[in-house]
């Protein structure tokens, strides 16, 4: 998943409702609307390693790397609400 930092937690929560809590999320700072092509290229190049990892690493390795991140983003400490458990 590729998102701006504004939407990464939302993306993680939504993916967890579909059974994919350990989806790899490549994020870039928000906003991107006003950026020119050169600036967008720099941002894309900064995310390419994450994208490649998400497409090539075995699911078990992705889960191992993302377990703590996913748990915090899906069920933040001190926040009580309905959510899909990790």
- What's the pLDDT score for residue 41? 96
- What's the pLDDT score for residue 79? 73
- What's the pLDDT score for residue 86? 57
| Domains in the chain, number | 1
| Contact (Cβ atoms closer than 8 angstroms) between residue 4 and residue 32 | yes
| Contact (Cβ atoms closer than 8 angstroms) between residue 30 and residue 6 | yes
Give me the residue label for tokens 């899906």: 74
- What's the pLDDT score for residue 24? 95
* Domain span including residue 14: 2-74
For the chain of 86 residues, list the mean pLDDT of each consecutive stretch of 10. Answer: 94 92 95 94 97 96 92 80 59
- What's the pLDDT score for residue 61? 95
- What's the pLDDT score for residue 75? 80
Q: Is residue 53 part of a domain?
A: yes
Q: Is residue 82 part of a domain?
A: no
């Amino acid at each position: 998943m590729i998102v701006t930092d504004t939407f990464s937690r939302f993306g993680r929560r939504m993916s967890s409702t579909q059974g994919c809590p350990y989806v790899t999320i490549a994020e870039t700072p928000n906003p991107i609307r006003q950026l020119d092509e050169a600036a967008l290229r720099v941002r894309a190049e900064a995310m390419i390693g994450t994208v490649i990892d998400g497409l090539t690493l075995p699911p078990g390795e992705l889960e191992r790397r993302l377990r703590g991140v996913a748990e915090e983003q899906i069920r933040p400490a001190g926040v009580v609400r309905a959510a899909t458990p990790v």
